[in-house]
Chain A
């Protein structure tokens, strides 16, 4: 039986938890409901028709203004006005309520933690939002955890007060401590009664006894009840124990003969083991996987072919050979394997942002999207521009100028122009807020007329930036004159425009301007107009300075581009033996009506498609001046080599090639072949995918390809793909290590050659970047699987999008976090296998140890067992697993390939073999 410990008050239980548990109230539920409604109203990002007023003042103040006269609260009998009158700041409100509840200050931190854990989804979103740099809605409507806790506490006070009145008790902290100390019998019985754990035949007696409050009767009943309950529990456990022993081959009569000390040991072992059992199962899954992986690697026939660095430099690379860089994502593994199976492909794995962290501004959008792992903050900006201009118009300045002119006729004059050149960030939101319908219409038109684009990656000079800002200001003046005075461009002179701009910037004295004199505009009207220019159209020195700062962030210096290309190529060990064509393949997904779509995109690109980063990397690697600098650093990329960006759709396994217009004409013949190869490999992947999705009626690769495409476009499809389900390992080493093995789409794979990494910096980079991202993914899948209701987001069937930023179950719930059931469960059963990430590094053990010493976070994860680190030491020919604080040599496996089901890559004319994929299952 569970006895309440006074030490749990405030550290595990709130005061109203105790009221709920001992008096059968539902204060916690009521609080959750009221707080969720408040959060929904405040945090809304444009979904709700009626907007909460006063949000710019912050969450607590906006809420408290409404709460003072809120009928919803009155219906619950709550009068929070009394507290709110005395506390206009959230800190004051917290102080006030905590003191009223008489909770000792030493417990406050624990108490807040327990409160925050109640709605950890909403609290987690507010916590993220409050630290997110440049998040529009946070800047506009600020909220933080202090607001959140303050509201919760303010709401809890009248609810506790009302319960006190109702039960005639004191429910403040000191009273609860005294109660648990002095009346443990009553507390225990009350807890049994209201937690539903009470023995049914005792329920009525207990209810009557606690209602009467006779201490001695309660004590007598408690003694009887406890004795009886313990006896029944013990009897039930004894039966199970006997059953267990019988199944283990110990007959009841033999069990009876055991000495008491032996029986005691048996009982303590069995019950002592129960708290460890889940962990043992988890280790069993991991260890089984590791054993099979080691056996498969030992049996791999290609491993010996691992080449020495630079050994290919002199060798001739066949003209037909194609290299391809893929994201480390587990879903790349299938396509890589199938593509390699075609014969002339060599693939590499690298984090899907290809070493180019960037804030990207899509054409027609005014906001930046950070395309890099969430652990990084990009410093540079890349812009997308329509690709219509002549070849000689290379610079951003020329293209942007052209864009400004092109957008003269757009409806949202001041905003759209600015958006198009990406000068004023956040204006996408302004458009949505000020004129949503017009804006939306304009956006649709823009999308429909979407032209081919190119990415601008070079820095512009300060003079060019100044010119650009000036040009933009002039455009603003033209629009403003038109709007204010109805004067079209042809009615005013360039001199007038320039003069107005200079006046707005306060570079020349104000009035009267040429425009005013020419059109008889009065002093007052002119002053209003100038004020509008400065504040509405933002022609002012401060804004000009911001614009110049923003422009300075655009693009990368040539040396920086060289460095990024070099680092990526070195990290994957591709520094010689370049093929004539190198595909740079980012990935993304396609699904309809799926709020979780971005969970299926590239984690290394901040949950976005990877095409932009692939295009940026390829554009840089194709530059002659970048290659000249790379050659000086010992990486000689032949002139004949071309990097071609592509996007792998992980839902359909189709691959789209980008920037073909920039492909040298001589390569077009090769292109057809590549496209056919990609289609063939994609169809074979689709076969594997259909098998996993349970589509058993698919009888050919073509049919499989059609089926997966249908899933992608079906808006009722709750599971367009399995995402990264079943992810199990992260392999850092040469592809030769794993090339002969079917890793069943369960391995993240980062190419790496320790022989090209003298000081360990490359490995440190892989561990502190891609590995961390993979570990985040792995643990999210783990916990979403073991408890989908708490750590996952439950079934998609019941999901409702809230406020355009999150999902709730039904009309009102905690904000759902983690992955939906359809991603990790098949029916009620786990589809994902919950295990910690088995990280394999191919490098000498002493070298890995030294690198690990340099990366604190990863060392902590390894030492605390959040990732299982396995080192394949080529110098010793042995494997070592870090376990229980030490490196433990792993036994040499026998390399039974057949048992593990290592299969050759599927051929187009052969159906997928029935043998289970490696490391999948061995029935």
Chain B
């Protein structure tokens, strides 16, 4: 990247008047190709109707061909958006009775056994109550602050955790 300021006048590419019929056909073919590339690139875009006929629609309509959670993940990247509420909002809903704590426990159980993190733990870790830890994480911990959102490597974290725990 260093040291070169390009001169736009000498830059590659550019439109030329077609010299003959063959070239005109090639230009037309190229235009059609660009047109279809843009059309496909825009398929993810949700329609926006004029206000006078507001239509409720799925902003992720273009991603419905994939599972909900995957689509949400992709959309959050694409639109720089959030796909879920903040943890503290859900905790408030829990307090207000919109969510049963047993359901959370059930879902944590499923998370720990469905192999998402390489399957159930062997027996030698039986003293580590991961379910309780995750339920506590969901129900009692605040949302991490911005700095706390960073996820360092396991090794780095282990190195920090060891000296302070010992």
Which of these, A146, A168, A281, contacts B5 with CB under 8 Å? A168
Given contacts A249-B132, A815-B48, contact A603 B55 (CB under 8 A): yes
**For the complex, what is the distance from the CA of A598 to the CA of B12, rounded to whole Å?**
50
Query: A291: which B residues are within 8 A, CB to CB?
Result: 100, 103
Q: Name the segment of A263-271, A449-457, A554-562, A617-625 touching the other chain.
A: A263-271
**For the complex, what is the distance from the CA of A204 to the CA of B67, rounded to whole Å?**
46
Query: B45: which A residues are within 8 A, CB to CB?
Result: 116-117, 120, 123-124, 127, 145
Contact check, A776 vs B55: say whether CB atoms are below 8 A apart.
yes
Which of these, A272, A776, A921, contacts B56 with CB under 8 Å? A776
Q: Is A430 an interface residue, CB under 8 A from the partner?
A: no
Query: A263: which B residues are within 8 A, CB to CB?
Result: 158, 161-162
Q: Is A73 an interface residue, CB under 8 A from the partner?
A: no
Q: Is A493 an interface residue, CB under 8 A from the partner?
A: no
Contact check, A829 vs B89: say whether CB atoms are below 8 A apart.
yes
Q: Is A677 an interface residue, CB under 8 A from the partner?
A: no
Contact check, A274 vs B151: say whether CB atoms are below 8 A apart.
yes
Query: B81: which A residues are within 8 A, CB to CB?
Result: 787, 790-791
Q: Is B15 an interface residue, CB under 8 A from the partner?
A: yes
Determine how close the nearest CB of chain A comes to the CB of B54; give it in whole angstroms: 4
User: Which partner residue on chain A sits nearest B159 by CB separation?
Assistant: A234
- Interface flags for A736-765 (1: CB within 8 Å of B; 0: not) read 000000000000000000000000000000
Determine how close the nearest CB of chain A comes to the CB of B91; give it in whole angstroms: 9
Which of these, A128, A241, A262, A779, contacts B60 with CB under 8 Å? A779
Contact check, B41 vs A116: say whether CB atoms are below 8 A apart.
yes
Query: A264: which B residues are within 8 A, CB to CB?
Result: 154, 158
Query: B38: which A residues are within 8 A, CB to CB?
Result: 94, 112, 145-146, 149
Interface residues of A in 410-451 (CB under 8 A from B): none
Determine how close the nearest CB of chain B comes to the CB of A265; give it in whole angstroms: 6
- Interface flags for A153-179 (1: CB within 8 Å of B; 0: not) read 000010001001100111110011011
**For the complex, what is the distance from the CA of A260 to the CA of B30, rounded to whole Å?**
60
Given contacts A273-B111, A273-B134, contact A267 B157 (CB under 8 A): yes
Contact check, B68 vs A109: say whether CB atoms are below 8 A apart.
no
Determine how close the nearest CB of chain A comes to the CB of B79; give it in whole angstroms: 5
Contact check, B97 vs A921: say whether CB atoms are below 8 A apart.
yes
Interface residues of B in 1-29 (CB under 8 A from A): 1-6, 8, 11-15
Query: B164: which A residues are within 8 A, CB to CB?
Result: 238, 242, 252, 256
**For the complex, what is the distance from the CA of A608 to the CA of B124, rounded to whole Å?**
64
Interface size class of B (residues with CB under 8 A): 35 or more
Q: Is A82 an interface residue, CB under 8 A from the partner?
A: yes
Q: Name the segment of A85-93, A514-522, A631-639, A683-691 touching the other chain.
A: A85-93
Contact check, A598 vs B132: say whether CB atoms are below 8 A apart.
no
Query: A537: which B residues are within 8 A, CB to CB?
Result: none
**For the complex, what is the distance from the CA of A172 to the CA of B11, rounded to whole Å?**
11
Determine how close the nearest CB of chain B comes to the CB of A329; give it in whole angstroms: 11
Contact check, A164 vs B6: say whether CB atoms are below 8 A apart.
yes
User: Which partner residue on chain A sits nearest B135 by CB separation?
Assistant: A248
Q: Is A807 an interface residue, CB under 8 A from the partner?
A: yes
Contact check, B100 vs A288: say whether CB atoms are below 8 A apart.
yes
Q: Name the segment of A95-103, A331-339, A504-512, A710-718 touching the other chain.
A: A95-103
Which of these, B66, B77, B133, contacts A12 with CB under 8 Å? B77
Interface residues of A in 813-842 (CB under 8 A from B): 815, 817-819, 829-830, 833-834, 836
Given contacts A127-B47, A786-B83, A790-B81, contact A598 B54 (CB under 8 A): yes
Which of these, A89, A287, A790, contacts B106 with CB under 8 Å? A287
**For the complex, what is the distance from the CA of A94 to the CA of B158, rounded to whole Å?**
51
**For the complex, what is the distance from the CA of A394 to the CA of B71, rounded to whole Å?**
55
Query: A265: which B residues are within 8 A, CB to CB?
Result: 121, 125, 128, 130
User: Which partner residue on chain B sits nearest A240 by CB separation?
Assistant: B148
User: Which partner residue on chain B sits nearest A806 by CB separation?
Assistant: B51
Which of these, A87, A179, A231, A817, contacts B156 with CB under 8 Å? A231
Contact check, B56 vs A780: say whether CB atoms are below 8 A apart.
yes
Contact check, A94 vs B130: say whether CB atoms are below 8 A apart.
no
Contact check, B104 vs A284: say whether CB atoms are below 8 A apart.
yes
Q: Is A398 an interface residue, CB under 8 A from the partner?
A: no
Contact check, A791 vs B79: say whether CB atoms are below 8 A apart.
yes
User: Which partner residue on chain A sits nearest B140 by CB separation?
Assistant: A247
Contact check, B154 vs A124: say whether CB atoms are below 8 A apart.
no
**For the complex, what is the distance from the CA of A238 to the CA of B30, rounded to whole Å?**
56
Contact check, B117 vs A272: say whether CB atoms are below 8 A apart.
yes
Contact check, A170 vs B111: say whether CB atoms are below 8 A apart.
no
**For the complex, what is the distance from the CA of A100 to the CA of B9, rounded to whole Å?**
10
Q: Is A882 an interface residue, CB under 8 A from the partner?
A: no
Q: Name the segment of A469-477, A653-661, A861-869 touching the other chain.
A: A861-869
Given contacts A288-B98, A777-B56, A864-B68, contact A830 B106 (CB under 8 A): no
Given contacts A169-B5, A233-B152, A603-B55, contact A288 B103 (CB under 8 A): yes
Query: B55: which A residues are within 8 A, CB to CB?
Result: 374, 603, 606-607, 776
Contact check, B54 vs A102: say whether CB atoms are below 8 A apart.
no
Interface centre among A117, A244, A253, A777 (most CB of B within 10 A): A117
- Interface flags for A100-114 (1: CB within 8 Å of B; 0: not) read 101000001111111
Interface size class of A (residues with CB under 8 A): 35 or more
**For the complex, what is the distance from the CA of A515 to the CA of B97, rounded to whole Å?**
84
Given contacts A818-B59, A860-B65, contact A91 B35 (CB under 8 A): yes
Interface centre among A128, A178, A280, A775 (most CB of B within 10 A): A280
Interface residues of B in 36-75 (CB under 8 A from A): 37-42, 44-61, 64-69, 71-73
**For the complex, what is the distance from the CA of A236 to the CA of B8, rounded to whole Å?**
49
Interface residues of A in 785-814 (CB under 8 A from B): 785-787, 790-791, 801, 804-807
Q: Is A912 an interface residue, CB under 8 A from the partner?
A: no
Interface residues of B in 73-113 (CB under 8 A from A): 73, 77-85, 87, 89-90, 92-93, 96-100, 103-104, 106-108, 111-112
Contact check, A123 vs B49: say whether CB atoms are below 8 A apart.
no
**For the complex, what is the distance from the CA of A92 to the CA of B35, rounded to whole Å?**
10
Contact check, B15 vs A866: say whether CB atoms are below 8 A apart.
no
Q: Is A664 an interface residue, CB under 8 A from the partner?
A: no
Q: Is A121 an interface residue, CB under 8 A from the partner?
A: yes
**For the complex, what is the distance from the CA of A262 to the CA of B130, rounded to whole Å?**
11
User: Which partner residue on chain A sits nearest B32 by CB separation?
Assistant: A91
Contact check, A270 vs B15: say whether CB atoms are below 8 A apart.
no
Q: Is A66 an interface residue, CB under 8 A from the partner?
A: no
User: Which partner residue on chain A sits nearest B65 by CB separation?
Assistant: A860
Interface centre among B30, B47, B59, B93 (most CB of A within 10 A): B59
User: Which partner residue on chain B sits nearest A289 by CB separation?
Assistant: B98
Query: A830: which B residues are within 8 A, CB to CB?
Result: 85, 89, 93
Query: B138: which A residues are within 8 A, CB to CB?
Result: 277, 280-281
**For the complex, what is the distance from the CA of A595 to the CA of B53, rounded to whole Å?**
10
Query: A284: which B residues are within 8 A, CB to CB?
Result: 90, 99-100, 103-104, 107
Which of these, B37, B42, B121, contacts A127 with CB under 8 Å? B42
- Interface flags for A584-603 (1: CB within 8 Å of B; 0: not) read 00000000000110110001
**For the complex, what is the distance from the CA of A94 to the CA of B71, rounded to whole Å?**
29
**For the complex, what is the distance from the CA of A549 to the CA of B92, rounded to whole Å?**
60
Contact check, B130 vs A779: say whether CB atoms are below 8 A apart.
no
**For the complex, what is the distance from the CA of A280 to the CA of B44, rounded to whole Å?**
25
**For the complex, what is the distance from the CA of A124 to the CA of B55, rounded to whole Å?**
13
- Interface flags for B122-166 (1: CB within 8 Å of A; 0: not) read 001101111011111110110010011011111011111110111
**For the complex, what is the distance from the CA of A685 to the CA of B2, rounded to whole Å?**
70
Query: B161: which A residues are within 8 A, CB to CB?
Result: 238, 241-242, 255, 263, 267
The 8 closest A-B pairs by CB, nearest first: A278-B84, A99-B13, A256-B165, A112-B41, A779-B58, A179-B1, A124-B48, A790-B81
A-B contacts besides A117-B79, A864-B68, 6 pairs, CB < 8 Å: A146-B38, A253-B165, A284-B100, A787-B82, A830-B93, A864-B65
**B residues whose Cβ falls under 8 Å from a Cβ of A:** 1-6, 8, 11-15, 30-31, 34-35, 37-42, 44-61, 64-69, 71-73, 77-85, 87, 89-90, 92-93, 96-100, 103-104, 106-108, 111-112, 116-117, 121, 124-125, 127-130, 132-138, 140-141, 144, 147-148, 150-154, 156-162, 164-166
Q: List 7 A-B contacts (CB under 8 A).
A: A102-B12, A252-B165, A258-B127, A260-B158, A285-B90, A779-B61, A921-B97
